[in-house]
Amino acid sequence: MKAGIMVDVQNDFMFADGALYVPNAENIISNIVEVVKKLKENDLPIIATADKHYGLKDYAEVETELQVNGGPFPDHCMNGTPGGMLIGTLSETIGVPRKIDDYHSHSFEDVIEKQSQYYLKVVLSEGVAIFTKQTYDAFRNRYFARICKIFDEFIVFGVATDFCVYAVVDGLMRLGKKVTLITDAIAGVDKAKSADILLQFQKDGVVLIKTEDFLKGE
């Protein structure tokens, strides 16, 4: 099975007034929208990821990336804020997808496995779901990690190339999945580092294509 993974296309990352803006991210929005439309047209499910932070003591253990907890990043994509929402231009295509949280590290693995099967049905029936996370690595959401094992091939796009996109692609490659990365539907924080990451991905077998080629089905 094949699926799209849309990484962190949220206001705080995509626009210059966002709390953790990825440079030039607004320039890839039109490509992201076209990719999403194509995935929907082809009836391919979209597994979206999204940061969701609280900045509270109760979540400090899973929000180590925030400066308030000694991490490198300022508050961003805070729960209930506009910055944490998906960009508005996606609403016409995917509506308001269901959000799937996993911040209870004490949950029993058998419970996680059972819930993962349910969430897989959600992804397949509704066509899109958002898996939230408190770190740049989406595989820390155990539902996301388990559902990714079900699919064989992924089309990846979003932000940021050198953080969250990197973690997704790296995790998928470790699972032995076939990965296509749409290079003009991603943006990175550090331009040079992002370029090096793409070169390494290509060496590792990731297929790098442009939006135009993806829309053509090439």
What is the spatial order of strands in the sheet that 178-187 belongs to?
98-100, 128-133, 46-51, 2-7, 153-159, 178-187, 207-209
E-strand ranges in 20-89 read: 46-51
Q: What is the pLDDT along the chain (218 residues), one digit of tens a residue?
A: 999 999 999 999 999 999 999 999 999 999 999 999 999 999 999 999 999 999 888 888 888 898 999 999 999 999 999 999 999 999 889 988 999 998 666 667 778 888 899 999 999 999 999 999 999 999 999 999 999 999 999 999 999 999 999 999 999 999 999 999 999 999 999 999 999 999 999 999 999 999 999 999 74
Give the pair of three-digit tokens for residue 69. 């907890």
How does pLDDT run across 9-43, given as a tens digit for each residue? 999 999 999 999 999 999 999 999 999 999 999 99
The position carrying tokens 């609403």 is: 91
- Domains for the chain: give ranges and CATH numbers: 2-216 (3.40.50.850)
How does pLDDT run across 119-140, given as a tens digit for each residue? 999 999 999 999 999 999 999 9
- Using DSSP bridges, classify how beta strands 2-7 and 153-159 pair: parallel, antiparallel or unpaired: parallel
Helix (H) or strand (E) holding 7: strand 2-7
Q: Is the CA virtual torsion 174, 212, 160, 50 positive or negative?
A: negative
Instruction: State the Cα–Cα distance between residues 120 and 130, nearest whole angstrom.
Output: 12
Instruction: State which amino acid sits at residue 65.
Output: E
Bridge partners of 158?
Answer: 7, 186
What pLDDT, on the 0 to 100 scale, is given for residue 102? 86
For 181, which DSSP code?
Answer: E
pTM for the full predicted model: 0.95
Q: Is the CA virtual torsion 111, 178, 1, 96 positive or negative?
A: positive
